[in-house]
Amino acid sequence: MFVKIAGTGSVLPERVVDNFEIARMVDTSDEWIQTRTGIRTRHIAGKETVASMAAEAAKRAIEDAGISPEEIDLIIVSTVSAEQSLPCVACEVQKEIGAVRAAAFDLNSACSGFITGYQMAAGQMKAGLAKTALVIGSECLSNYVDWSDRGTCILFGDGAGAAILRADGAPEELEIPSVLHADGSKGDSLTCSLGHGKDKVPYDEYYRMDGRAIFKFAVRKVPEVIREVLSLSGHSVEEIDYFVLHQANRRIIEAIAKRLRQDEARFPMNIMDNGNISSACIPMLLDDMNRKGLLKPGMKLVLAGFGAGLTWGGFYLEW
């Protein structure tokens, strides 16, 4: 018995920024960006906020699951880009969707956030503390992008994805084939520093990234974590229908598929149209696949994320 995804939802801002517009800001080209990242366009928030997109994605997931908001016991929002510190985004979502019974909190695990949120929600179900959970990744990364830095401004976009989680068995029967890891010693590879408190750090409101270090980290650690998850699930890599990965870079995903010696067709991507939206990537990709009818009952999936911290993790899921 597993914690299953009963419904999905996602939302993107109205404004679309293509590579040609980026090329008017920095020294780059559509060909250069597509060759190195796979990205053609990204969506950039205007009037949309982290909370408003999270709430809209949640409403769509609730509708897809065919439940009422009052059935939700827990709301977890993963974000690194909320416009305000208090109240948390999850409480804003609770208010907007009318989930009056739900506990609510935010987490920051960067691009691994949806994986972390799933494991936390599944743990609550295993403990008998929740039956239905709403896990959301929502980001306005454009608020923290340096539009003069070619190395980062080409990558990031805004959006939100949500999933309704429900247990398909009693708490004591639930299996949670999921793993999380972190390595803070390599945290300088991807940063966004805000000075505060007694321990002031150099103020830098923009994302800074060592792209080469992140590439090497992802290509090494994601295949490892996938194998860990498969070992816990009792399945082989050949039995998995889809590997749903964080959409950081097309080259990273292709390299991971090659390391695992699996067909790239089993590694779906939407980075071409959306860019990297941190913790929103995985639930948004799931929703894309769900809406297109690609996910059939009984299909076996492995989801994996990786990002700042450094953090990485994954879980096995049956649709």
CB atoms within 10 A of CB 30: 15
Tokens 């039956």: give the residue.
131
User: Which helix (H) or strand (E) covers residue 256, if one does?
Assistant: helix 250-260
**3-state DSSP of 68-128:** CHHHCCEEEEECCCCCCCCCCHHHHHHHHHCCCCCEEEEECCHHHHHHHHHHHHHHHHHCC
Distance CA(311)–CA(296), nearest Å, equals 30
Among candidate residues 261, 266, 249, 269, the one with its CA nearest the CA of residue 302: 266
Does the annotation mark 274 as catalytic? no
Name the active-site residue from 19, 249, 274, 276.
276
Does the annotation mark 246 as catalytic? yes
DSSP 8-state code for residue 309? T
Strand ordering across the sheet containing 242-245: 178-182, 311-318, 300-307, 242-245
Name the active-site residue from 88, 91, 111, 153.
111
Name the active-site residue from 19, 246, 249, 274.
246
Distance CA(83)–CA(245), nearest Å, equals 26
Does the annotation mark 235 as catalytic? no
Among candidate residues 232, 295, 278, 305, the one with its CA nearest the CA of residue 4: 295
Cα angle 281, 286, 290; round to 5: 150
Asked whether 2 and 317 are in contact (CB, 8 A), the reply is yes
Positions marked active-site? 111, 246, 276
